[in-house]
Structure 1
Amino acid sequence: MPALAPTFSQRFTTILDFLYPPKCTACGTPLFSEPGRRVCARCVARVEMVPNPRCEICGGPLESASSDSTKCARCLAHPPRYRIARTIARYRTTAEDEPGTLPALIRRHKYGLDQSVGRALVEYLGDELPVSAGDYDVVIPVPLHWRRLWWRGFNQAALLAAEVAHRLNLPLDTTAMSRRRYTPPQTSQHHDERIKNMRRAFVVTNPERIKNRRVLIVDDVMTTGATVDECARVLLQAGATSVDVFTLARVL
């Protein structure tokens, strides 16, 4: 069967991209040779991966490569409610203002109120996710309180969760759980303070959509895990059979 001729719209887009080439969302480099992309290959390649060996529960690095334990000290001392947590990249706070880095792009997305950056962040997911579709029944993003949602205009976790659900061919549920208590930013708080800050912050509003289901929670960044652990607690209390966590990046 002969290939279809490009439409006028496609030809016009090609000409427009040639005259005004799109730029990498992260560093601003023109994407002459990478049509359809929003982040250049160089910026994607700069992503830091979580070093091995990793904790089999939270996915963070183990303290010692020679240790016989497959779990980190924190998970051994305080086992989380979620079953496992997996992430794509390492989030270094010291590099958050360096142009072209993933932390800089995430901060621009969340605090620069630039919703278009969400489409660029999706490209950092890579070709294969570290989670499998057969392990879950539904994907749920970490919800925002309505005050923060009103100020920001979008939930960055929901945008990411939509792409994850699409790739896994799973349903996305953005209303089964809500944030009922407004919590201040946790950037400067320690682990114990974060846990206290998250208590009773979430509620399952539609338990019938959670009961007997395997849930995958999605967020953009995991710091100490206090937020996703509280989400897992209320979901399990509502009848979920298991809860796992997936994040784009993790602070280490």
Structure 2
Amino acid sequence: MHQAGEPIVILMYHHFTERGYWRNNDAVVYIDDFAAQMDYLRKEGYNVVPLQRIWDYSRKGTPLPYRPVAITFDDGYESNYTLAYPILKKYSFPFTLFPVAGWLLEENPPHAYDPAKGDLLDWRQIDEMVASGLCDVQSHTFDLHDKVDGRSLLVTPLVKADTGQMETPEEMRNRIKSDLQMAKETIENRYGRPVYALAFPYGQYDAQVMEIMDELGYGFGLCMGRSQHQDSMKAVIRLGVVQGDGVEGFARHLQRWSWTPPQGNRQQ
């Protein structure tokens, strides 16, 4: 049984490919490394749990098993389905997808698998994974996964296409809120399950985003690297797994990981 104060790991992956492709791209993990990493989790006694279990632990103190780990995938790459999903099924490991909802088609046109490409999932593939009971779907925005001058569209004002003028603070807030609401409703309407988590594109967020999360019912925010709000479940750091980690680096990161949910978030 997990004890208060012991670390909890949330793994973050993006895209997968076969060895020899997408070299020197940290966001792309070789699928044989992923398979070995999942095998390591099983053999070393880690317990892979749904992300919802960590959310429930932080809010209500719902017990977790010893050495809890959650697995998350950002952006919605088709390789999550074609390459990673069979491995997760082998181990019966639950996982959470964070697709950019507005990018996905109902069904992709027929195409051959190409390890050199970064094709996106379609909703039919996600439906199949959700139906397995292993997959949960949460939000990575509806269509705000891009940057302007290095700043995520979630945290920076944009120039309006119709006038060429910079949007006002009110217009920016309305744009962000509308997008996050659309992402939430799209996923909830399809699967009938609450969307409680938002993975920030590029890990960027600000106080306004946190306010909007409160208004829309997002209680769990996930970022990358350092968090400016380590006492909040609205900006939780994840362990990003990158191409060069292999099994040795993966094991090292797990052993050094120290994040634990802030106890103050629990609701009685």
- Structure-1-length-normalised TM-score: 0.29
Higher alpha-carbon Rg:
1
Q: TM-score, normalised by structure 2?
A: 0.28
- Which structure is higher in RCO with an 8 Å CA cutoff and minimum separation 6? 2
